[in-house]
Amino acid sequence: MDHDPNFKNLILDYPRQALELFAAAHAAGLDAGAVVTPVRQEQLQAHLGGRYRELDVPLLVTWSNGNRDAIVFVLEEETDPRRFSVRRLAHYCLDLTELLETDRLVPVVIFLRAGAFPRELVLGHDGEDFLSFHYLAYALASVPARDHLESGNIVARLNLPNMAHRREERVEVYGFAMRGLRQLEPSSVRRRKYIDFIDIYAGLDDTERARWQTEFAEEAEEMTRLSERLLTEGRQEGVEEVRQQLLARLTGQLTRRFGALPDSVSARIEAADTDTLLGWLERAALADSLRDVFD
């Protein structure tokens, strides 16, 4: 599974909370007036390319009072530490600072799985260092989940299954992640979206899921209702989208063949359901007049 898009969405949906978790020391100065904005990356792809540099998330932080210079945070998720290249990260950061004309940048790499990874890049000769580069490493698999079970940071709560915990704690960790989503996210659409995020990383089996439904009954019931409601709404939206497409096709076809439509005909078309529109479309292909279509 490619986990990068999952984390990219998480960071873009909750940029401030992501910075407060993954770069706590450098984000400590974020106040209510600070604005966190994702940096558009389309202009970077032409000359940088590649999976790593396309899927990182640069965030520009500015202060409304203008007392501090803007700063760029570069956040990147790396599932397997063995695939991480500190040289690529350094190259990208240099390109980004040149593009944005800033020297203020904090690179952060979020490691999803345990493993060794280089902490810095030093280039030099004969004992003299000419270039030294390091970054903030956040190794999720080494962070105790129990330390964040009741965190008020939604990014931390959603990532509980990725944090360190024993197998027998998995249901509890999953339950507190779902509870955090329920308590900290008011949007039903985002709740449904991040149910999937938690499920992907928790990987409960049927027995564990049954335990969760018993031990966290309130969350289980609400999340089930939410999933069912949004699924129903999605189906209804799909039906309406099809109806609108049929309406546009029918109106266009009739106008081309018979000219401007009377208001009474337009009103009938607007009020028709999908099946009726389909029937009229079939007749319109062979009709010699509007009466042949509707009567």
Whether residue 55 is predicted with pLDDT greater than 60 in this model: the reply is: no
In 38-85, which ranges are continuous DSSP H helix?
Answer: 42-45, 51-55
Instruction: Report whether pLDDT(153) > 90.
Output: yes
Predicted pLDDT at 207: 92
Q: Where are the alpha helices (DSSP H) in 14-62?
A: 15-22, 42-45, 51-55
Percent of the chain with pLDDT over 70: 86
Q: For the chain, what percent of residues have pLDDT higher than 90?
A: 32
Asked if pLDDT for residue 166 goes beyond 90, the answer is yes
More confident residue, 169 or 282: 169
Kindly state the average pLDDT of the residues 135-163: 96
What angle do helix axes 4-13 and 188-202 make, rounded to 10 degrees?
150
Largest alpha-carbon pair distance within the chain?
Answer: 93
> Hey, which of 60-69, 78-87, 153-162 has the most confident mean pLDDT?
153-162
Integer Cα distance of 63 and 185 in angstroms: 25
Residue 132: predicted pLDDT: 94
Say which amino acid occupies 86: V
Summarised one tens digit per residue, pLDDT across range 62-73 is 876 665 678 889
Residues whose CB is less than 8 angstroms from the CB of residue 54 and which lie 6 or more positions away in sequence, other chains included: 41, 44, 45, 48
Taking the model in full, what pTM does it have?
Answer: 0.70
In this model, does residue 6 exceed pLDDT 50? yes
Average pLDDT over residues 190-195: 84
| pLDDT 10s digits, 92-119 | 899 888 888 889 999 999 998 888 999 9
- Which residue from 20, 18, 16 is spatially nearest to 6, judged by alpha carbons? 18
Closest CA to 133 of 94, 104, 97: 94
In the predicted model, is pLDDT for residue 146 greater than 90?
yes
Residue 51 pLDDT grade (very low, low, confident, very high; cuts 50, 70, 90): very low
